[in-house]
Structure 1
């Protein structure tokens, strides 16, 4: 078969022939990959920078996709924890980590949307007790996952969604996706923190894709502006685009009903993720979330790998 293969973490994947992997487990089968998304998580997998990486080479990147089983059924699947990912004509899948697609579902749309959507979907469904009518701040709302989080928060019933980010053009596009308020993170840190705290002081949940200094600088100002500091605020840390660490002042934890928790691999089991997939897949398949997929042949992987795409776009490799 052909696959995108990483043989050095200093080089991008190369399109080349590779031996077809063999199923070994009780629930494993070989399937034909139809479509797989080029997510940021895939790039970090391929350069060995993701926290789950084990350094094993050679590696076929790709963490999820849509494939066709031997009986013809299309499924969305999450790749097993092996070096044989989804950027290949064929891969091994554990059937327990696959979900059949509804009739008429667009494989490319599913492959493009599931990864950026699942972070906020699972966070709101499994990591916090989200209730309809609550208010949500999306910190880092101008990235693909952040833009999807805006849509998902509204879809699940948030009464107010605030989107914060640096790219003004992308910020300006967020109201069309459901944002009620947008906040620029450009400027002096103290001014930004004050501006963001003023806009989001009454939120119930923060979905944070940035972490680092933006999170660190706004925590206390936001908490101090709350009209009722005993009202619970859940800060869900998902991404760390702005830095891997953020100092959480002790006063933030003592002076308000404030909890900081993470959502990702490890804090939620694979079974926990998969349990939430069917409704999310149906939501995407029915067109209730805006998805902007750009397709490429897998053979173009070397040309496309480092491409910067337009706001909201997600590259999807197809094998046929």
Structure 2
């Protein structure tokens, strides 16, 4: 069979023949892969830079996908923690890490949307006791996951959502998907941080996809402007597009009721993730959440891997049976 195969972290995956591992666990099953999304997490998996990288080569990348089980059921699955992922004509899954799709669900849309949606969905549903009516700042709202976070915060009942990001066109578009206010992060970083403080001082939750300097600079201006510093503010660190490190000022932790935590692989149990998947699948399948999915034949993986998708798009690889045979 054929798959996208990484043999060096310095090179893009190549479409080539590879043996399918034999199912070995009591809950293992072989699925025909219908669609697998090219998420930022998958890119970092393929270049070895992700914090959960196993350092094992060769590697078939892909952390999730949509597949068809031998009994004909179509499922969304999270790939097991092995070196053989979802970007293949067939793969081995643990059926306990899968959920059936509703009748008529689009495999490409599910494969495109689940990963960017999962980060904010799980953060608000599993990392905190989020209550309808609370307000949310999405830091990095012009990225794909940040845009989805705006939608999800509203879907889960946020009373007010503020989106902060650099891209002016995508920032303007946030209004149409639920943002009540937007803040530009363009220009001088300290000036941008003050704008965040002015606009978002009264939020209850920050969903942070940036980290790095933007987060570091925004914390104190945001906290200083709160009308009641004893009212809880929870900062959830999800992504690190702007850098892997941020110096957290000690004053931020002492001078306000400020809680800083992360949400990602390891901070939520597998059971916790799986419990959220059916409701999230339903929200995507019925159109309440969506992304601009771009299906690409898996055989073209080497050609498109290094080319970023357009604004708001998510590339989804669709295996072609017998390609290259």
TM-score, with normalisation over the residues of structure 2?
Answer: 0.97
Query: 2:125, 2:63 → 1: CA distance?
Result: 21
Q: CA deviation at 1:308?
A: 1.9
Q: Provide the residue aligned with 2:224 in structure 1.
A: 224
Q: CA deviation at 1:310?
A: 1.8
Query: 2:177, 2:64 → 1: CA distance?
Result: 25
TM-score, with normalisation over the residues of structure 1?
Answer: 0.99
Q: CA deviation at 1:226?
A: 0.4
Q: Provide the residue aligned with 1:212 in structure 2.
A: 212
Aligned residue pairs, count? 320
- Maintained 8 Å contact 2:162/2:179: yes
Q: Provide the residue aligned with 1:66 in structure 2.
A: 66
Q: CA deviation at 1:68?
A: 0.1
Query: 1:290, 1:39 → 2: CA distance?
Result: 15
CA RMSD of aligned residues (A): 0.7
- Maintained 8 Å contact 2:109/2:290: no
Q: Provide the residue aligned with 1:236 in structure 2.
A: 236
Deviates more, 1:60-69 or 1:187-196: 187-196
Query: 2:129, 2:256 → 1: CA distance?
Result: 18
Q: Provide the residue aligned with 1:199 in structure 2.
A: 199
Query: 1:190, 1:256 → 2: CA distance?
Result: 21
Q: Deviations over 1:39-60 (max 9, x none)?
A: 0000000000000001100000
How do 1:123-138 and structure 2 match up within 5 A?
A: 123-138=123-138
How do 1:29-40 and structure 2 match up within 5 A?
A: 29-40=29-40
Q: Provide the residue aligned with 1:252 in structure 2.
A: 252
* Helix, strand or coil at the partner of 2:16: strand
Query: 1:192, 1:232 → 2: CA distance?
Result: 23
* Helix, strand or coil at the partner of 1:44: helix
Query: 1:252, 1:84 → 2: CA distance?
Result: 43
Query: 2:114, 2:309 → 1: CA distance?
Result: 18
Q: Which runs of 5+ in 2 are unaligned?
A: 321-325
Q: Which runs of 5+ in 1 are unaligned?
A: none
